[in-house]
Amino acid sequence: MNKAFHRHITATAIGLTIAATAWAQRPIVQTNFTPDPAPMVYNDTFYIYTGHDEDGRHDEFVMNEWRVYSSKDMVNWTDHGSPMSLDTFSWAEWGAWASQCIERNGRFYWYVCCVDSRTHDMAIGVAVADSPTGPFTDAIGAPLVSDPGGYIDPTVFIEPDGNAWLYWGNPGLWCCKLNPDMISYDKNFTISGNHVEKVKDGVYKFIQTEDSFGGPEKLAEGTVFTDYKDLYEEGPWFYKRNGSYILAYAAGGVPEHISYSVSDSPWGPWKYAGQIMPLQEMGSFTNHCGIADFKGRHYFAYHCGTLPGGSGFNRSTAIEQFEYNPDGSLPIILPTTKGPDPVGTLNPYSRVEAETIA
C-alpha cells in the first residue's frame, strides 16, 4: 500500500449542516494537482480518480501515483489519498499517467498506463480492489496490453449484457473486448470492415479519417490542422447513452480541445460529431475529460492549469454540469469558475478517514 494512503487525517466536522446554497469550487481539489479525471458513480457517491502532477514542474510530466476523491453532493469532496502508485506495479518504470476505474460484481478494476521497464514503452495495466478507495493490487503482475508506441489513456465500459470494452491510444486509437474477469481480453474477438486494422489477435486499431474523427491520424506533408474539421489526439472516454456509443477525446493536436464521435456499435465505424469543449485559455496545453450521470444530472470532468502554481505540467480537475441537446447530442460546454450546484448537504458530524474539503 502506498505510504500516502496511511497519512490520512481523521476529521470530524463541527458546526451547522451546510445548506443547499453552498457553492462548489474550480478546481474541485485545491491541495494537490489532479490531472486526467475519471469519474465513477457507485452507491450514491460520485468518485473521481486522478493522476498527480508533482509540484513545481514546468518542463515535464512527473507523476508517481494516482489519487481518489469522492462526494455525495458535488460540492464537498473527501480526499482518500493515494491507494495506488507506480510501486503497485513491479513492472512499471515511470509515468503514472491517465487511468479509469470501473466496478463489476462488487470489485473495482483500475486501468492505468505507465512505462513498462522491460520494453521502455507505455503499456496498459490493471489493478483490483474490494473497495472503490482501495487498497489496489496489481491484478496480473504484467501489462494487460503492451506494444511499442501509443499505449496510453485507457477507458473502459461495461454494457448491460456484460460485454466490456477497453479503448486507449495516442496518437492512434485501439480497442479490445475484455473477458468477464476484466483482467484479460478476448483474443478470438474479431472486427470486420475497412475502418479498422488488426494489430494482433483481439486488438484492433481504428483507421482515422475526416468522417470518423475529424481528420487523419497523421497529417499529409504540407497540411495543417485547419485543413480538417478536427483531429483525434488522445484521452478517449467511451460510454453508451440511449442506444448510441459515444467516444469523447482530446483533439486538435497541442493545444487540445475536447471533441467526440458516435457509433451504432461498440467497435465502430465512428462518425465525427463535433466539439464539446472548444479551445480556450485554461492554463494547460492538454485536456482530458470524463462524463458521468449522478442523481439525475449530467457532469463533464476535465483538467485545467488555473490552480495557483498551475501550468501545462501542473493540472487540476474541474467539473461542469450540463444538459444534453434535445436530439441527444452533446452541447458545447464552457468552463465556469463556480463549478456545479450542490445536490445534497454535508453532515458536519460525520467521521471520515480522510480530509473533506469544500
Q: What is the pLDDT of residues 277-321, one digit of tens each?
A: 999 999 999 999 999 999 999 999 999 999 999 999 999 999 999
For the segment 329-357, the average pLDDT, to the nearest whole number, is 80
Residue scoring higher pLDDT (249 or 349) = 249
Statement: residue 15 has pLDDT above 80: no
CA–CA separation, 228 and 166 (whole Å): 27
The band of 253, judged by pLDDT with boundaries at 50, 70 and 90, is confident
Backbone angles phi, psi at 86, to 5 degrees: -60, -30
Q: Are 204 and 267 in contact (CB under 8 A)?
A: yes
pTM: 0.91
Q: What is the pLDDT of residues 212-227, one digit of tens each?
A: 999 999 888 888 878 8
Q: Please say whether the dihedral angle defined by the alpha carbons of residues 247, 252, 254 and 259, taken in this order, is positive or negative.
A: negative
Statement: residue 155 has pLDDT above 70: yes
Q: What is the pLDDT of residues 316-335, one digit of tens each?
A: 999 999 999 999 999 999 99
Statement: residue 156 has pLDDT above 70: yes
Nearby residues of 159 by Cβ (< 8 Å), 6 or more positions away? 165, 240, 266
For the segment 8-34, the average pLDDT, to the nearest whole number, is 56
Statement: residue 7 has pLDDT above 80: no
Q: What is the pLDDT of residues 120-133, one digit of tens each?
A: 999 999 999 999 99
Residue 221's pLDDT is what? 84
CATH class of the structural domain 3-357: mainly beta
Q: Where are the domains of the chain?
A: 3-357
Statement: residue 94 has pLDDT above 50: yes
Q: Which of 305, 338, 345, 307 is nearest to 320 (CA)?
A: 338
Q: Which of 155, 183, 182, 163 is nearest to 291 (CA)?
A: 155
CA–CA separation, 55 and 307 (whole Å): 11
Residue 47: C-alpha distances to residues 11, 41, 60, 102, 165 (Å): 19, 6, 27, 10, 21
Q: What is the pLDDT of residues 33-65, one digit of tens each?
A: 999 999 999 999 999 999 999 997 778 899 999
Q: What percent of the chain has pLDDT over 90?
A: 81
Amino acid at 201: D
